[in-house]
Amino acid sequence: MIDVNPQAAEASLCSSRLNKVDVNVLNCDLLTCLRKFKVDVGIFNPPYLPFEEYTTWLHYSWSGGKTGNNVLIKFLQSLRAGRYYFLASSLGDLDELMTFLSKSGFAFRSKTKVIGFEELVAFEGVDDKSSTGGT
């Protein structure tokens, strides 16, 4: 588990210990603390609300940048994985995200669920460029 917020990273570590679950917890910005390598699966529940002011650690938990996709796109650009799972919101710029995915060689499917005043879109994707075989 990786989180930019040191308090969130510490809370995850404490929770995993209380529940006797072995989890590696890193406090860093996305994948900047890791060497480049390929993983089988990348899972990300990104901050996806369109807002760009970061004055407290709490803002990092929900602000996805100006369009709501900035953090997610940065993550997808930095991770090499065969399969991806991530969320996006209708409150962000879904057209921008779909354009990025199609131009970047990601094959994906999605499911949408309306929750209150927004639609949450869950994506399952395969990176055609890094795929090693069938799906």
Together in a domain, 15 and 42: no
Dump pLDDT digits (tens) for 74-101: 999 988 888 999 999 999 999 999 999 9
Together in a domain, 74 and 110: yes
Together in a domain, 7 and 61: no
Answer whether residue 135 is part of any domain: no
Together in a domain, 15 and 50: no
pLDDT score, position 133: 42
Together in a domain, 41 and 91: yes
Helix (H, G, I), strand (E, B) or coil at 123: strand
Domain of residue 19, residue span = 1-29
pLDDT score, position 115: 93
Dump pLDDT digits (tens) for 10-69: 999 999 999 999 999 999 998 888 888 788 999 999 998 898 888 888 888 888 899 999
- pTM summary value: 0.82
What is the number of domains present in the chain?
2
Together in a domain, 88 and 102: yes
Label residue 60 left, alpha or beta by phi (over 0 means left) and psi (-120 to 50 means alpha).
alpha
Cα three-residue angle 79-34-127, rounded to 5 degrees: 10
125 class by beta-carbon count within 10 Å (0-12 exposed, 13-18 middle, 19+ buried): buried
pLDDT score, position 53: 80
CATH code for the domain in which residue 120 is found: 3.40.50.150
Together in a domain, 105 and 39: yes
